[in-house]
């Protein structure tokens, strides 16, 4: 009996040790795909670096594609949820829809469906909002802003109201296209995301203790 109990405990311990780290899935567009800058300068890579020395470890999967819209992201999401089974999904979509002047009702429906799918899959959600240039007019700009806030309230998700806060209006932090951050701007974007994401990690992500030096 004792031998059986020992083997059972050993099997349980092996399963615990072998359990994969929680996955953070980022689904976005060029703002999350390190557009025109080195990959390791993008905010998603900075997130990986921030989580690297922490316990428990977290895996970051960046499924962002330049040009992604809420419709194409909605189409790709189910397969990503099945493949990676993320603990947290960071949704950064809507900018390309807005720039194309897509109907707000359609944008909201796509984002709503994605948040619901993530929640049904057992994942927490962090919504990253975006602001449009002033030439799109206050009605459309306010409508897009309201979509993110409304969904965050409806589903009790995390929310970054404006991903490029502190960056977008500073030419030195933006690329020549006026739409994408420079490497320096990406560090501020990461800070914007991290402030909202860190509390969603369950308070378990603590810095790993430094290794103790031993005598040779």
The verdict on residue 198 lying in a domain is: yes
Mean pLDDT for the stretch of residues 48-61: 87
The verdict on residue 13 lying in a domain is: no
The verdict on residue 164 lying in a domain is: yes
The verdict on residue 130 lying in a domain is: yes
pLDDT computed for residue 187 by the predictor = 98
Mean pLDDT for the stretch of residues 15-26: 77
Average pLDDT over the chain, rounded to whole?
89
Choosing from 29, 30, 32, 58, the catalytic residue is 30
Q: What is the pTM of this model?
A: 0.86
Residue 11: both structure tokens together: 């099997």
The verdict on residue 1 lying in a domain is: no
Beta carbons of 27 and 173 less than 8 angstroms apart = no
Choosing from 32, 58, 64, 180, the catalytic residue is 180
Q: Active site includes 29? A: no
Domain total of the chain: 1
Q: Active site includes 97? A: no
Domain that holds residue 121: 22-202
The verdict on residue 211 lying in a domain is: no
The verdict on residue 174 lying in a domain is: yes
* Closest by Cα among 185, 203, 202 to 193: 185
The CATH number assigned to the domain holding 168 equals 3.40.50.1110
Q: Active site includes 30? A: yes
Lowest mean pLDDT, pick from 10-14, 28-32, 40-44, 105-109: 10-14
Q: Is the C-alpha dihedral spanning 80, 116, 194, 16 positive or negative? A: negative
Choosing from 35, 58, 177, 191, the catalytic residue is 177
The verdict on residue 50 lying in a domain is: yes
Residue 157: both structure tokens together: 């998700």
pLDDT computed for residue 55 by the predictor = 75
Of all helices (H) and strands (E), which one includes residue 127? strand 124-128
pLDDT computed for residue 1 by the predictor = 54
């Amino acid at each position: 009996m004792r031998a059986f109990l020992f083997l059972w405990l050993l099997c349980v311990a092996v399963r615990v040790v072998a359990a994969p780290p929680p996955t953070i899935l980022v689904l976005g567009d060029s703002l999350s795909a390190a557009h025109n800058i080195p990959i390791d300068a993008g905010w998603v890579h900075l997130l990986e670096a921030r989580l690297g020395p922490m316990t428990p470890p977290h895996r970051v999967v960046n499924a962002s594609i330049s040009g992604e819209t809420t419709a194409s992201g909605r189409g790709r999401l189910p397969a990503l949820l099945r493949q990676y089974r993320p603990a947290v999904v960071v949704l950064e979509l809507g900018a390309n829809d807005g720039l194309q002047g897509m109907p707000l009702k359609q944008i909201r429906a796509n984002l709503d469906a994605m948040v619901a799918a993530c929640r049904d899959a057992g994942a927490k959600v962090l919504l990253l909002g975006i602001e449009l240039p002033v030439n799109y007019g206050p009605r459309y700009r306010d409508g897009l802003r309201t979509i993110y806030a409304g969904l965050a309230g409806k589903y009790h998700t995390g929310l970054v109201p404006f991903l490029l806060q502190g960056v977008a209006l500073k030419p030195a932090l933006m690329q020549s296209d006026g739409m994408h951050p420079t490497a320096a701007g990406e560090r501020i974007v990461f800070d914007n995301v991290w402030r909202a994401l860190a509390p969603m990690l369950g308070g378990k992500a603590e810095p790993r203790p430094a290794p103790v030096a031993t005598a040779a």
